[in-house]
A and B are shown apart, each in its own frame.
Chain A
Amino acid sequence: MSSQTSGAGDGAVVLSARRISKSFNGVQVLFSVDFDLRAGEIHALMGENGAGKSTLVKILSGFEQPTSGEITLDGHAVTLPPNGAAEALGIVIIHQEFNLAEHLTVTESLFLGREVTRFGVLDRKFMRAETRRVLDLLGSHVDENAMISSLSIADKQMVEIAKAISRDARVVFMDEPTAVLSREETNFLFKQVRKLRDQGTSFVFVSHKLDEVMELTDRVTVLRDGQWIKTSPTSILDGESIAQLMVGRELSKLYPAKREPNVDEEIVLSVDALSTGYVKDVTFNVRKGEILGFSGMIGSGRTELMEAIAGLRSRASGEVIIRGATVPSGDVHAANRQGLAYMTKDRKSKGLLLNSRMTANLTLQSLENHGKLGYLSPASEAQALERARRRFDIRVRDGNVVAGRMSGGNQQKLLLAKVMETEPEIIIIDEPTRGIDVGTKQQIYHFISALARDGRSIIVVSSEMPEVIGLCTRVAVMREGRIVGMLEGDEISEQEIMRYAAGLKKKAAA
């Protein structure tokens, strides 16, 4: 890579990564990535979900150690101390989920873990004054004596930043800082960030919001599939070209041939003006045998919507109708009986009993099928396991193994088998291939395709765009709790989805 010398924030390099690679359990997620951060710049780190941004941030802030490569701080190679101890070096990370204890005051939060004492007693007066000074520096009106729990999300964000400054941060990582902020709050945050930048603090800004990246940052680095793609001054790019850089890859032969749905097929599921706390006014239909995709950024409300449809979450308003019959709100069992099943994306904490064997997991949702009057027939359950192992190719050497000891791929197949035991006509699959190897991915895609050919309707929710594009004949794109686009046929492309998901383009939901 060539190092850039132009652009704003033309200071010396503060923190840099040289040929950083990282593997988790033998799966490589970063491939020899270079990154450098100059004094007094705001540097955007962009990439699709799973591109390796978070891993890079964790490595540069000491929360993970690289498998190979080196990190330099002020030109010297360093090993960053783990678990946030890098704060002592002036490297601070502001997490997506705030790290503030709700029952402390603002002052207590700022000095948490490094309380100032006089004669062994807390020097509250000094700490309060210091907190006030830092908050004033930021132009924030937050009361230093207020409880964290009483603050708005934007103010909490501000306290996090104050905390960073009070620790003399030179490098601040911000992971999706504006995800929960309103436009005004975002503007205020940006104003403070620019002010600090002009005083020499460096920021790494991780965000999916292209417009904000264009507005705020000085340089952009794009990662894709764990590889460094480009680093460039923001001024010479536009949203379109960044989106292009983030996705530009071809679909491989992972996916089975698509089968265009018959437009005359009956509508089996219709969701009408559904709203929950976050999801707003969502309306769509699914036809028999269709695979409908749901795309969007993390936090766009897809899972919340699906859980509301499946009865796992109560609905504020709107209806879910399966073949003309209304599905009651907040009743999983009723939705199951009406032929709708939801497969969670969180197989380890919501999908499988990790300490139980395969059989107990497989039949948990469909025990009615294995005996009368509440009695369970072991023979019938054993048959079900035998069938499921064959049908979904679950490969384990020992049939009595507990689910927690199976590979991720086999767990995912078992979870799919468990959901299919309820014999649903409509299956919502949330992140069908999270954390599994490519071979199993391909198998799961073929299972999904076969289920659709059987006449079942499938909704695939995925953050991996190629997956949605490779499998689905129609794709809904969600953003901030709403469906902002419904793509069909040739319209389904990564660039197009990205435009809707990032808010560059809007269209009434079809």
Chain B
Amino acid sequence: MDTSVNEETRDERRRNWRDIDLRAVAPFAALILLLILGALVNPNFIGLNNLANVATRSAFIAIIAIGATFVISSGDLDLSVGAMVAFVASLMILFMNSGVIADPALMLTAAVLFAVVAGSLCGLANGLITTVGRIEPFIATLGTMGIYRGLTTWLSQGGAITLKDPALQEIYRPAYFGSILGIPVPIVVILAVTCVAAFILYRTRYGRHVVAVGSNADVARYSGIPVNRVRTIAFVIQGLCVAIAVLLYVPRLGSTSATTGILWELQAITAVVVGGTALKGGAGRVWGTICGAFILELVGNIMLLSNFISEYLIGAIQGTIIIVAMLVQRSLVRKS
């Protein structure tokens, strides 16, 4: 009797071990491999300073990719995020340059709120065009990508938009260059955004609805889930994440241009896919996404430190990574 119970638990454990989802583990395994590879290429690579630096620079893509995780989990796609960064950043700097509020601290607070609202509205527009307008998300956001990019070029007249007030610059700088308890602010923001996102996706009704809609919209509808509202909110979350990325981006250079955020949609979607989220929806992996964003930045870093591949090839390498990640995902699905 006793032994049979024991056998059963052992059996159970063996099965659990086999049931570990390779897709959830794969990105972290890839990250560790990259770290080892980097250490071999250049001993400076594995230093805490260099890694903190890499993590800091991955912040923009990581945060945008968190938003993309929601959109992709619900079965949609947002191609406009790169253009949206440029557009929201331009609006934010123009707002601060307008000087409607004299006090720098108050102005900064207002500008932050302004950027958050602008980002959310851009996301809402994408969501409504996709759901109410019933246009494929690929086409809808390809259109808004052109619109946001075009508006940015027009606002900047083809050049750059620069934050003028030195006092504002001074109090805003720490948002990117400062640190809290020795940890750079961007890394803190990444962690905070990821924790909140993981909570929403895994522990709330809305998160469950996102996964249900992405995995089978018919099942969601038959279960009384407001499918279009869920999808639209995912786009708004994406807009919000873009706004947060902008809040970190603006203090770094204090300016934006028509070329800000070019190909960031490729990087964000790559981070999501590398992280193990299924591109056809239905399985969101927030921590995997962060891992994916970090992997992308690491690859760039290794290229820079190693000197055997030109850093001008970075876009080509990232494009290759997303294709390889899709191939790996598919072969893992087939095996299971």
Contacts and interface: CB of A to CB of B under 8 A. Distances in A.
A197 to B, nearest CB: 43
Contact of B218 (A336, A349, A378): A349
A424 to B, nearest CB: 11
A353 B226 contact: no
Contact of A353 (B15, B203, B282): B282
Nearest to A311: B224
Interface in B85-143: none
Contacts of B224: 332-333, 335-336, 365
B205 A349 contact: no
Contacts of A332: 221-224
B205 A367 contact: yes
A426 B282 CA distance: 31
B219 interface: yes
Given A333-B226, A376-B203, A355 B215 contact: yes
Contacts of A335: 224
B216 interface: yes
Contacts of B221: 312, 332
Contacts of A371: 205
Of listed A356, A364, A368, residue having the most chain B CB within 10 A: A364
B83 interface: no
Nearest to A401: B19
Contacts of A367: 205, 208-209
Chain A interface residue number, banded: 20 to 34
B interface, by DSSP: helix, strand, loop or mixed?
helix
A24 interface: no
A127 to B, nearest CB: 35
Contacts of A418: 223
A189 B101 CA distance: 80
B165 interface: no
Of listed A342, A353, A354, A371, residue having the most chain B CB within 10 A: A353
B211 A360 contact: yes
Interface residues of B, number: 25
Contact of B222 (A351, A355, A400): A351
B273 interface: no
B219 A355 contact: no
Contacts of B282: 353, 355-356
Contacts of B222: 312, 332, 342, 344, 350-351
A352 B205 contact: no
B28 interface: no
Contacts of A349: 216, 218-219
A391 B216 CA distance: 27
A36 to B, nearest CB: 43
Interface in B197-248: 203-206, 208-209, 211-212, 215-216, 218-226
Contacts of A490: none
Q: Which 5 A-B pairs have the closest CB atoms?
A: A332-B224, A365-B223, A333-B224, A367-B205, A374-B205
Interface of B: 12, 15-16, 19, 203-206, 208-209, 211-212, 215-216, 218-226, 282-283
29 contacts: A332-B221, A332-B223, A333-B226, A344-B222, A349-B216, A350-B218, A350-B222, A351-B219, A351-B222, A353-B211, A353-B219, A354-B216, A355-B282, A356-B211, A356-B212, A356-B282, A360-B211, A363-B208, A364-B212, A364-B223, A365-B223, A365-B224, A367-B208, A374-B205, A375-B205, A376-B208, A398-B12, A398-B15, A418-B223
Given A364-B223, A365-B224, A375-B203, 15 more contacts: A332-B221, A336-B224, A349-B218, A350-B222, A353-B216, A355-B283, A356-B212, A356-B215, A360-B211, A364-B208, A367-B208, A368-B205, A374-B206, A376-B205, A400-B19
